[in-house]
Structure 1
Amino acid sequence: MSLPCRLFTHQVICTRSVFIEMSTRLGNRRHRESLDLADRTCCVRHCRRVIKSAKSYFQFQGSTAIVTVIFLHSRIMAAQTKKQSMYEGSEVQIFQLYLQHSDEHAEILRFLLKCLPKEFKRIATDKSNLAVLGVGSGGGELDVQMLSILQSVCPTLPISADVVEGSTELVANFKALVAKTDNLEKIPFTWHVMLSEDYKKQVKDVKKYDFIHMIQMIYYVDNLTETIKFYHSCLNKNGRLMIIVGAAGGSYDILWKAYSKELCNETITPYRSSGDILASVKTLGLKYEEHCSSYTLDITECFDPNSETGQRLLCFMTATDDFSRSFTPQIRADMLNFLRTKCSTEKEGKVYFNVCLGYIFVHA
């Protein structure tokens, strides 16, 4: 579109997935104020209202301004499903960078190697075969480790594995990992490429499992208590439901609760810690065991605005597509200061984010 001089282009990010671009020749300051109002709109449900208001405003003014609105319908559909499947395309890259930069999987694996063998021995008592369900398994990095542990503990028992994962890209990564992992060719896999909520709705004859794990995915379900109730109902005798999540009082819990208004939107609503999981488990009257572990994440680069790694880490930690453009400059500055002073420790010029994980084993 060709316009005379004094072209003003304003890009508005709504729910970080829907983009509205308004291009107008500025006649007076009120045009800018109208667009700034749109800029503060951060929910999908308001997008149509923003567009309608913008159009009405310029029509009412009788202005010769030209308003171009680009509304990406596919983006809004993606935003509606993103709540439980947030890893596609660039998001997978950000997720993989986080895993490479952090010790999260290594820390979880250390715990699993120590704890799972005895759990698997209990689970396998009087069993002729074992069925495992992974919910939100991602690329399967931890799943293949757990299945290998299970094979070593129960070498004579047939094992089957079901996987519920909404990301097609991560499922493809999982399948590739299975293909190159020793002994897993003996395990038949059933792939459910869908969200947890869809699995709950679509499954007709509920299959029973001996071990169900939900690792860092419980944040994305609609109803926490109902989700735990459903998967608990899928357990066989002596079965275990293992939920791994950020620990109550940990730095993620502190950050997300301090900035719940800014962070809890279409992706995570609300943030849930191990304390919230335990509250639901107790409400259901279920028997459980709780464990915890911790590690630190070097986030020094997050304070360098020119560091791509730092910006991507911030995107993952705040569940945003673009941290630098998702908040006002003041909120970004406050959040970074909060990360440094309330959630981290500094040592030898480095800033280390304190990560605490909660492991909850719910008994059948």
Structure 2
Amino acid sequence: MASKMRSLFHDPDYYVKTFHSYYADIYNKFDVHASWADRVFGEKIVPQIRVTLGEKEEFRVLGIGSGSGETDVIMLTKLLQRFPLINNRVVEPAEGHIAMYKALVQSKAHELHGVNCDWRQQTIDQYEKAGDLTKFHFVHAVQSLYYVEDPDRSLMYLYNLVEPGGVLLVTLSSSEKSQTHRFRVGLPSLQDDLFKHIATANIRDSLDRRGIPYAEYAQPSRIDVTKCFDPSSEEGAQALDVLTHIIKFKETASAELQAEVMQRLAEFSDKRGNKVVMINDWDAVVVFKPME
């Protein structure tokens, strides 16, 4: 990576601003996740949790890299239908995202009655090194294992934090279908140690090697990257920052690298009328931990 280019992760404030704008305005992530929560999480995952709790015992949830909390809140409302008391521990390194998560919880207090939140401003690696041995009935890492030191080790660490009868949920880009994944993998000049170019095939391989059964649910998703091809578009420039994981990519990358990126973006996208769209399908890998 050129010395004048910096990964998004070196500027947490810019990371939070850019990602939130991208997900909310370009990707429509939160609408996609709301649909998924109804179709898959509420109907196929929550009913399979085999946990028996006392009358005043809390159902324990651990969220890894939960961002600004929109997806967490959707899942918590589904869980509340079965478990009226929930302790929700959130491990999220970005201070800005935690502030947004707290504000969201406050605004939806009437929907989250019974949920007690415990925020930890840490990466998963920092959380693991702190040595907390608490186990949970539901552990989830939604689009966050890209950012760990060793995805295979972190996966098994999370699995070991799940109580018998509980569930581990991991979502990542689809190895087979995601054009965004293939776009990034083919750009080694942009890769650094802070972002792992992994997809669900890596998770499946880790579980298969250990004989751990799992279920998998595919989620179609699309990204509108039309504005990326407009040199004057600020929204397009921000989308490129997210797609490349580089701060102000258009201002710091060489002309040659920008040309390579735009060529690959055209290669791994589809023109649909007046729009240019990338397939961003992701998969949910779900491990139902057996009772002991």
1:122 and 1:284, CA in 2 relative to 1: closer, same or farther beyond 3 A? same
Residue 121 of structure 1, CA deviation? 2.1
> 2:258 is aligned with what amino acid?
R
**Residues 211-258 of structure 1, C-alpha deviation per residue, up to 9 Å, x if partnerless?**
111011100111111101111011112111111111103112211111
Q: Distance in 1 between matches of 2:288 and 2:151?
A: 17
Name the structure 2 match of 1:55.
none
**Helix, strand or coil: the match of 1:184?**
coil
Residue aligning to 1:337: 263
Say if 2:16 and 2:94, in contact at 8 Å, map to a contact too.
Answer: no
Asked if 1 retains the 8 angstrom alpha-carbon contact of 2:135 and 2:163, the reply is yes
For the pair 1:203 / 2:127, whether they are aligned, the reply is no
Work out the number of aligned pairs and report it: 281
Contact 2:30 2:71 in 1 (8 A): yes
Contact 1:216 1:245 in 2 (8 A): yes
2:102 to 175, 182, 203: 175
Match of 1:287 in 2: 213
- Residue in structure 2 matching 1:316, options 219, 239, 242: 242
Q: Is the 1:94–1:316 contact (alpha carbons within 8 Å) kept by the matching residues of 2?
A: yes
1:115 maps to: 40
SS in 2 for 1:166: coil
Partner residue in 1 for 2:59: 130
Identify if the C-alpha distance between structure 1 residues 214 and 89 changes in structure 2 by more than 3 Å, giving closer, same or farther. Answer: same
Q: Could you tell me whether the CA contact under 8 Å between 1:133 and 1:213 is conserved in 2?
A: yes
Q: Which amino acid aligns with 1:170?
A: H
Partner Cα separation in structure 2 for residue 185 and residue 88 of structure 1: 31
Tell me which moved more, 95-104 or 172-181. Answer: 95-104
**Match of residue 363, structure 1, among 271, 282, 288:** 288
Residue 94 of structure 1 is matched in structure 2 by 18
Q: Which residue of structure 2 aligns with residue 41 of structure 1?
A: none
Report if the CA contact (8 A) 2:67-2:97 is conserved: yes
Does the alignment pair 1:267 with 2:194? yes
Amino acid at match of 2:134: K
Find runs of 4+ consecutive structure 1 residues off by over 3 angstroms: 12-15
Name stretches of at least 5 consecutive residues in structure 2 with no aligned partner: none
Matched, 1:254 2:182: yes
Any conservation in 2 of the 1:245–1:357 contact (CA below 8 Å)? yes
Hey, what's the Cα distance between the residues in 2 that align with 1:233 and 1:266?
25
Higher relative contact order (CA 8 A, sep 6+): 2
| Residue aligned with 2:77, SS | helix
Alpha-carbon displacement from aligned partner over 1:245-299 (angstroms, at most 9, x marks no partner): 111031122111111x21211431x300111111112223211111111122111
Conserved? CA contact 1:229–1:284, under 8 Å: no
After TM superposition, the structure 1 stretch with the greater mean CA deviation from structure 2, 181-190 or 242-251, is 181-190
| Alignment-mate amino acid for residue 269 of structure 2 | S
Who is 2:76 aligned against? 147
Q: CA deviation at 1:345?
A: 1.0
CA distance in 1 between partners of 2:92 and 2:34 (Å): 20
CA–CA separation in structure 2 for the residues paired with 1:264 and 1:143: 29
Residue pair 1:103, 1:295 contacting (<8 A) in 2 also: no
**TM-score, normalised via structure 1 length:** 0.73
The superposition leaves residues 60-94 of structure 1 with CA deviations (integer Å, 9 ceiling, x where unpaired) of: xxxxxxxxxxxxxxxxxxx9xx3xxx672122111
Q: How far did residue 124 of structure 1 move?
A: 4.6
CA contact (8 A) 1:267 1:319 kept: no
Q: Deviations over 1:98-125 (max 9, x none)?
A: 1122122221221121122242222154
The equivalent position to 1:278 in structure 2, one of 176, 194, 204, is 204
Q: What letter is aligned with 1:141?
A: E
1:240 aligns with 2:167: yes
For 1:88 and 1:172, the matched residues in 2 are separated by: 13
Q: CA deviation at 1:15?
A: 4.9
2:117 aligns with 189
The Cα offsets for residues 296-330 of structure 1, whole Å up to 9 and x where unpaired, read as 21111101111110000000111110211343212
In 2: Cα distance, 1:262 partner to 1:325 partner? 16
Q: Distance in 2 between matches of 1:108 and 1:184?
A: 18
| Structure 2 counterpart SS, 1:281 | helix
In structure 2, the partner of 1:166 is 93
Give the structure with higher Rg (CA).
1
Q: What SS does the corresponding residue of 2:250 show, helix, strand or coil? A: helix
